[in-house]
Amino acid sequence: MYNNTVKFEKEEGIGIIILNRPKQMNALSVDLIEELSGLLDKVVKDNEIGVAILTGSEKVFCVGADIKEVSKIYTPVKARNFLAKVRSLFNKIEDLEKPVIAAVGGFALGGGCELALACDLRIAAENAKFGLPEIKLGIIPGGGGTQRLPRIIGMTKAKELLYTGDPIDAKEALLTGLVNKVVAVESLMDEGRKMASKIFRQPSFAIKMAKHAVNRGINMDVKSAIDYEARCAEMLFSTEDMKEGINAFIEKRQPTFVGR
């Protein structure tokens, strides 16, 4: 089913989503947005999948919105309709109850950078370049870039990237905290699988609660966020995974978590 704008593979608890518009440099068309959104719904419902990896090709992750489609948007109403689809997709990734790792090779620009920002973690190949060049077209990001970027790398550096539109390379992205790790181009997917496998081995409900605590707490005042964290933590004390983790620690063995 998923063999047009998006490809999908499943292996050992990991769902691998591959953007597949090579001639258009994986630009975000309406078709791709809708297909990717539908695929994410499948990932959520598949109990065999605990972690997802989102990637493109070695040379390009995603260059943003499809210019041919954007060129037909000439009113605020049409822009609103298009950006609503984009925001809905990115919010779905951010709110997904399973972690999503962006494995970024080559260009991640505009909406492509925003797509990576919506993921939980980002691994970059050495050839990766990140940027929000919208200002050079007389517009600004409309898929969350002005909000997620400063929350991840800080306001000062985010404003520099937003105001100049200039990209940064993988090394600088690592220094700013935009990515978790930089690896050789040929090792990108291996490193993505390695990180995904490590997360998959953790108790799934605890991972879900950790993601909820971080994503919701970041928009609260610190005391409210700590209270919310406590509610999430309290629920975990009734789980079989918590009991297994404690017993395994006491018995000095590897835990076998079952709550997926």
Q: Which residues are catalytic?
A: 114, 134
How far is C-alpha 148 from the geometric centre of its chain's CA atoms?
A: 11
CB-side neighbour CA atoms (13 Å) of 83: 16
Give the Cα separation of 122 and 75 in Å (integer).
34
Residue 215 CB coordination number (10 Å): 12
The residues, any chain, with a CB within 8 Å of residue 44's CB and separated by 6 or more, are 96, 97, 98
Q: Which residues pair with 143 in a beta bridge?
A: none
- Find tokens 């991840």 and name the residue: 152
Residue 212, token pair as written in the block: 């909820």
Residue 167, token pair as written in the block: 């990209």
